Amino acid sequence: MTPVLQVEGLVKHYGIRGGLFGRTIGHVRAVDGVSFSIAPGETLGLVGESGCGKSTVGKSVLRLVEPSAGQIILEGEDITALDRVGMIAKRRRMQVIFQDPYSSLNPRMTAGDIVQEPLINFAIGSRAEQQERVAALFARVGLRPDQRGNYPHEFSGGQRQRLGIARALALGPSIIIGDEPVSALDVSVQAQVINLMVDLQEELKLSYLFVAHDLGVVEHISHRVAVMYLGKIVEIAPRQSLFEAPRHPYSEALLAAVPVAHPRLRRKRVVLRGDVPSPINPPPGCRFHTRCPIAVARCREAEPPLLADASGHAVACHLRAPA
């Protein structure tokens, strides 16, 4: 089965300029060699602490920021080098749900116009057909069709994110990138939006790249989970395998930090030393070795490859890699 999305060796470096003539004096290594694939109807959760590069991965896949290197293959076609005109047709197949439902909607447009705009831009159907589709999308995401004339400020945060979902669905995409789509919402509303996304996936056979830092949300929606640290994926595995038996020390630390109500279900606490190194000058070898509780000399010298076992559970760790 051809993956909906395949990313190979994705790199995104931001130049740092300084000096009298504004020359490039260094680079922020936001994403530094990330590879993954997403199958039709699958959700890949991408997790990690703030600044690890996960949102940059999503923006690079969408070509909202231009990757420095690597390949982005959408439905079997390499879109990495497509120009602006060539990307127009591809944007119908990949859409985005932004993190902030307050700033991602144009306050001067009605809700109906916001959802209809993609249909107008791609000249899909007559105006009457577009209006009919917009009304159907409103109903599908849990909004009343008669709210099409309302402006974004007349909706609650959860309703605004439903508007964002309706807009993303308007063109019939095959994959949607969610850039922390529920992190700005109340907990009770988060559950409603996540359940809506799950229902839409089952109904429309959508694929998701779900970028988040909330492991509870990721566990609920994802089929597989990739863990990022300082610009690299350190572990990627089926959801159950990762949450029940994480292999990378960083994944263990992340999961141990998740609050659990029942004392018997709590994981042993993992305390990490120091702070996250700067992406401007990442450490040699394994990037996690400066904070890793089990690091050995080899970890400081050689970068571990991301190796998978027969079940598809991959880890980048010299001491935990599959035999």
- What digits encode the pLDDT tens for the residues 147-160? 999 999 999 999 99
User: Quick one: pLDDT at residue 184?
Assistant: 80
**Angle, to 10 degrees, between the axis of helix 157-169 and the axis of helix 187-204?**
20
CA atoms within 13 Å, Cβ hemisphere of 256: 14
Token output for 246: 């994480």
User: Quick one: pLDDT at residue 267?
Assistant: 65
User: Quick one: pLDDT at residue 132?
Assistant: 96
Token output for 144: 């009343």
User: Quick one: pLDDT at residue 266?
Assistant: 59
Token output for 264: 């018997």
State the Cα–Cα distance between residues 142 and 162, nearest whole angstrom.
Answer: 7
Token output for 216: 């509870």
Regions in the chain scoring below 70 on pLDDT? 259-268, 323
For residue 67, give every residue at least 6 positions away whose Cβ sits within 8 Å of its Cβ, in sequence order, or none: 10, 11, 12, 31, 60, 80
CA 213 to chain centroid: 10
Q: What are the C-alpha distances in Å from 120 to residues 18, 126, 134, 267?
A: 44, 9, 11, 52
CA atoms within 13 Å, Cβ hemisphere of 233: 25
User: Quick one: pLDDT at residue 261?
Assistant: 54
State the Cα–Cα distance between residues 11 and 241, nearest whole angstrom.
Answer: 27
CA atoms within 13 Å, Cβ hemisphere of 29: 15
User: Quick one: pLDDT at residue 55?
Assistant: 94
- Is-contact 143 163, C-beta < 8 A? yes
- Is-contact 228 210, C-beta < 8 A? no
Token output for 159: 């309703």
- Is-contact 143 162, C-beta < 8 A? yes
pTM of the model: 0.92
Q: Which fold has domain 5-93+173-315?
A: Rossmann fold (3.40.50)
